Chain A
Amino acid sequence: DVKVTQSSRYLVKRTGEKVFLECVQDMDHENMFWYRQDPGLGLRLIYFSYDVKMKEKGDIPEGYSVSREKKERFSLILESASTNQTSMYLCASSEQGAVREQYFGPGTRLTVT
């Protein structure tokens, strides 16, 4: 059974803190994605990666960075958290190729106070 896990379901951080969100997949997928989900807006792509050490900006990369040192792990970093980054963060992975099913983790609800 395919699995994408995220390090925390709920996280509360203070403004200005550095925040790490971890995502691990066990399917040997090449592609990994970070999205944020806000009410009424659907999912918006922050960053994605097609291979180890490779990253591409999505639609809303400002205020975020990512790291992919190993194939199975994709980390999202908020260098200095702000209240407008309070959101649900979803990680996904897929096989290599243009049109592939994405498998999602359960999400991390981040609150920045």
Chain B
Amino acid sequence: DAKTTQPNSMESNEEEPVHLPCNHSTISGTDYIHWYRQLPSQGPEYVIHGLTSNVNNRMASLAIAEDRKSSTLILHRATLRDAAVYYCILSIMDSNYQLIWGAGTKLIIKP
């Protein structure tokens, strides 16, 4: 049973903002939302995580819906180096906060 739902792929133009959506309708109050990305031929790397409030860091912003059933990863100005598979992941308290990975969204950046 998938915990998160993401589009298989998205395209965006270089130097424009990118909004990557994620649905997690079965999330509970203690589950965290994480985003990782995986560049070609590399292991995944952490992007951002949050619980209830929106979060910002040097890489991206995470906008969490008020009911927490969805979230959006925002890349403010995409570059060609941001082309990767982006994973929206839950960590669930009942599973000792292990990361539950989905299939991810392949982000294609057009020059």
- Picked from A42, A48, A99, A104, the residue with its CB within 8 Å of the CB of B43 is A104
Q: What is the number of residues of chain B that contact chain A, defined by CB distance less than 8 Å?
A: 20
**Which one, B36, B43, B99, B104, contacts A105 given CB within 8 A?**
B43
Q: B24: shortest Cβ distance to chain A, in Å?
A: 14
Listed A/B pairs (25) with beta-carbon separation below 8 Å: A4-B43, A40-B103, A42-B87, A42-B101, A42-B102, A42-B104, A43-B44, A43-B101, A44-B101, A45-B98, A45-B99, A58-B98, A92-B43, A98-B93, A99-B32, A99-B97, A102-B46, A103-B45, A104-B42, A104-B43, A104-B45, A105-B43, A106-B41, A106-B43, A107-B42
Any A CB within 8 A of the CB of B49: yes
Chain A residues with CB under 8 Å of B101's CB are: 42-44
